[in-house]
Every structure is written in structure tokens, then in C-alpha cells.
């Protein structure tokens, strides 16, 4: 069963391939009479003609493929965004290819190259630590890309992010309002600015309320479980135990809650909890956890819109969109 090409359609309809192309691409139709147009459409239908996108891409120099590089596609946060991205892209004839960097800057760079070789029209990137060089290269080649979710020191590119600092401030303030005197921060040991902003928001709230800083638990990104168990163990063996915890990511909350569960620490009586990110998993925890809900849908849709603008050169200036996360209060904060 040979593939049918534009030539076959032209033959059957007794027209030139140019006419077929014109009709099937719905060009401004002062060309081609309605009768021939119909003849062409019928022929295409009859032969079940499927235009070859590869050939089209080669000619137009547009692949209509977008690359999306995340830290880990198996993380529901990125999974959810990928899903929406893919659905929205499909509607306008774009395809998304996804790669997982695993927080590794070499893999990250390799994926970028692979995707560019694949002739993607643009990239949506969630940077990893030490990936600055990848961005410098992209900028030098003027390759269309945007940054999603994260932030790199010294790299100023268009991107979609959320109000990390403000929402963290708000979350911490809430903990304090509800009575916390010794709130504990559990966050990453990182240089990623978006994550550091979450810390800043926390500390700002402390300062504002004249609370002294307790030593935060700073977790290595590839040693989450252990670092958290050890850290919490230390804090909860003190006489002055934390009475509230702010987890700056779903994965951190995950391990942390597990610790609290195993050690019979009561929420919210002994400690209040607020965690960044929504998670299905919270539903299986005995206490409904208060959390910060990111606008995943908006993030994905805005990202798509922004990268398309850049590809089509409707945007020459650097644009930074900051979307608003929402604090969802439940049992774990009274």
C-alpha cells in the first residue's frame, strides 16, 4: 500500500500539484474556481490523502514541533503541565516533545541539542542548576525559547513564573497568625532563584512579626528523604520544638509528612503545616493539608502563547509573566 502524495491527487483531479496545494491549504481563494476546488477535495478524499508534514516542514522551514524540557516528567507537577500543553498545542496543529533532564545540566544541554536537531520551532524550558551555559548558547544563536517555572541567576529571558515570594510570605504569615511562634522552613539547598524566593518570603514574614529565625532544613535535591528525616529528627528532639512547618515543594512535604506520621506528631495540634503544590497524595493523609495551588492551566496556556509569539517574532522584548498561586487552607492550619 503505497503512500498517496499530492501528485496522485493532482492526477486524479486533472490539475497541477500547485492547485492541489492551494485548495488544501485554504489559500485566499480568488485563485481556483469553486468547481475545480471541489474536484480536488473529492479526489483528496477518495484517495484518503494525508499531506506529508515532513516535506512541508522542509519547504517552510517550520516543523510545528515544540520541545518541552522538564526536570522529571513523572512528577505530577510537570506531568499536568505537559498534558495541558499537549492538548492546547494539538488544537493549533503543534506537537510537543517532552524530555526529562533529571536535574542534570549535562542531560539538559544534551536534550536541548537533540531537540534543536529535531528542528523544533521553539523550546519551553525548566532550567536546572548550572545550566547557565545552555541559555547563553541559545541566546547567542537567537533560538526561540522561554523559561518555565524556574529562574536562573544572571539569566534574563522571557518566561512564565509565579509569585513565589509573595505567596510564601502569605503562607508564613498565616501560620503565625494562627499562633505559631517557631515556624520551621523546609526547603532546598539550591541556587535556583524561584526556590530561593520561597525562602525569602518565609523570612520576610518572620521579620515582620519579630520572630527569630530557627535553623531551616535545607535539603539536597537528590537526597530528600534522608535529609528531611534527619533534619526533622533533630528539631523534634529539642525542647523548643517547631510548632509549624512550611514545605517549599510537594516532594519535600511528602517526606516530611511521612516523618510526622511515623512519629505520631499531631497536626495541627503539635505542628501546623503548609506545603507548596497540590498533590493527590495528600488525599490519603489523615489530615487535610493546607497547600499552595499553582495555576497549572494558566502556566501551560501562557507558556504556549508566549513561545508562539516569540517564534512568530511578534515579541521582540523580554517578557516576564508572573502568575498568582493561591493559598488553600484546610485542616492542617486549624
Partner DNA sequence: ATGAAAGCGCTAACAC
Partner DNA sequence: GTGTTAGCGCTTTCAT
Dump the DSSP string for 263-279: TT--TTTT-EEEEES--
Answer yes or no whether residue 107 interacts with DNA by CB under 7 A.
Answer: no
Instruction: Number of residues interacting with a copy of itself: please give it, by CB under 8 A.
Output: 48
Strand boundaries in the chain, DSSP class E: 65-70, 95-100, 122-125, 145-148, 159-162, 183-188, 217-219, 244-247, 272-276, 290-293, 320-323, 326-328
Selected binder of a copy of itself within 141, 313, 314, 316 (CB under 8 A): 141
Selected binder of a copy of itself within 34, 74, 240, 314 (CB under 8 A): 74
Helix axes 105-117, 132-140, angle to 10 degrees: 30
Would you give the DSSP letter of residue 118?
Answer: T
3-state secondary structure 127-191: CCCCCHHHHHHHHHCCCCEEEECCCCCCCCCCEEEECHHHHHHHHHHHHHHCCCCCEEEEEECCC
Answer yes or no whether residue 295 interacts with a copy of itself by CB under 8 A.
Answer: no
Q: Hunting for cell 486533472 — which residue is that?
A: 14
234 phi/psi in degrees, rounded to 5: -60, -50
Answer yes or no whether residue 30 interacts with DNA by CB under 7 A.
Answer: yes
CA distance 57 to 51: 11
Q: Hunting for cell 518570603 — which residue is that?
A: 201
**Residue 79's binding partner out of DNA, a copy of itself, none, with CB under 5 to 8 Å set by partner kind:** a copy of itself
**Residue 22's binding partner out of DNA, a copy of itself, none, with CB under 5 to 8 Å set by partner kind:** DNA
323 - beta bridge partners? Answer: 162
101 or 194: CB nearest a copy of itself: 101
**In whole angstroms, how close is the CB of 206 to a copy of itself at the nearest point?**
28
Answer yes or no whether residue 7 interacts with DNA by CB under 7 A.
Answer: yes
Selected binder of DNA within 38, 46, 60, 133 (CB under 7 A): 60
Answer yes or no whether residue 61 interacts with DNA by CB under 7 A.
Answer: yes
Measured between its terminal Cα atoms, the distance across the chain in Å is: 67
**Residue 244's binding partner out of DNA, a copy of itself, none, with CB under 5 to 8 Å set by partner kind:** none
7 or 234: CB nearest DNA: 7
Query: Using CB under 7 A, which of the segments 58-66, 123-131, 182-190, 284-292 binds DNA?
Result: 58-66
**Residue 108's binding partner out of a copy of itself, DNA, none, with CB under 5 to 8 Å set by partner kind:** none
CA distance 244 to 54: 56
Answer yes or no whether residue 285 interacts with a copy of itself by CB under 8 A.
Answer: yes
CA distance 132 to 138: 10
Answer yes or no whether residue 276 interacts with a copy of itself by CB under 8 A.
Answer: no
The binding site for DNA (CB under 7 A) comprises 3, 5-7, 14-19, 21-22, 24-25, 30-33, 35-37, 50-52, 55-56, 58-61
The binding site for a copy of itself (CB under 8 A) comprises 1, 50-55, 57-58, 63, 72-74, 76, 79-80, 82-83, 86-87, 90, 95-100, 111, 113-114, 116-119, 141-142, 254, 257-258, 261, 279-286
Amino acid at each position: 500500500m503505497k503512500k498517496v502524495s499530492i501528485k496522485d491527487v493532482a492526477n486524479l483531479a486533472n490539475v497541477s500539484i500547485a492547485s492541489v496545494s492551494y485548495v488544501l491549504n485554504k489559500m485566499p481563494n480568488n485563485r481556483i474556481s469553486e468547481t475545480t476546488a471541489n474536484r480536488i477535495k473529492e479526489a483528496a478524499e477518495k484517495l484518503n490523502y494525508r499531506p506529508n508534514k515532513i516535506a512541508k516542514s522542509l519547504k517552510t522551514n517550520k516543523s510545528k514541533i515544540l520541545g518541552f524540557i522538564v526536570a522529571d516528567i513523572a512528577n505530577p507537577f510537570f506531568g499536568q503541565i505537559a498534558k495541558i500543553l499537549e492538548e492546547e498545542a494539538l488544537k493549533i496543529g503543534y506537537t510537543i516533545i517532552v524530555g526529562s533532564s533529571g536535574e542534570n545540566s549535562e542531560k539538559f544541554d544534551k536534550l536541548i541539542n537533540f531537540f534543536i536537531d529535531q528542528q523544533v520551532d521553539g523550546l519551553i524550558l525548566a532550567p536546572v542548576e548550572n545550566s547557565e551555559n545552555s541559555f547563553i548558547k541559545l541566546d547567542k544563536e537567537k533560538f526561540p525559547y522561554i523559561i518555565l517555572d524556574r529562574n536562573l541567576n544572571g539569566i534574563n529571558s522571557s518566561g512564565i513564573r509565579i509569585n513565589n515570594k509573595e505567596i510564601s510570605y502569605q503562607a508564613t504569615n498565616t501560620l503565625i497568625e494562627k499562633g505559631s511562634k517557631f515556624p520551621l522552613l523546609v526547603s532546598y539547598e539550591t541556587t535556583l532563584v524561584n526556590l530561593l524566593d520561597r525562602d525569602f518570603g518565609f523570612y520576610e514574614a518572620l521579620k515582620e512579626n519579630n520572630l527569630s529565625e530557627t535553623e531551616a532544613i535545607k535539603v539536597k535535591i537528590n537526597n530528600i528523604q534522608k535529609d528531611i528525616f534527619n533534619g526533622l529528627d533533630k528539631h523534634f528532639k529539642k525542647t523548643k520544638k517547631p510548632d509549624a512547618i512550611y514545605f517549599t515543594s510537594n516532594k519535600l512535604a511528602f517526606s516530611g509528612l511521612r516523618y510526622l506520621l511515623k512519629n505520631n506528631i499531631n497536626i495541627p495540634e503539635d505542628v501546623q503545616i503548609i506545603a507548596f503544590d497540590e498533590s493527590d497524595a495528600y488525599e490519603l493523609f489523615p489530615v487535610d493539608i493546607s497547600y499552595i495551588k499553582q495555576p497549572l492551566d494558566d502556566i501551560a496556556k501562557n507558556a504556549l502563547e508566549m513561545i508562539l509569539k516569540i517564534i512568530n517574532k511578534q515579541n521582540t522584548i523580554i517578557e516576564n509573566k508572573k502568575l498568582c498561586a493561591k493559598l488553600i487552607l484546610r485542616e492542617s492550619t486549624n
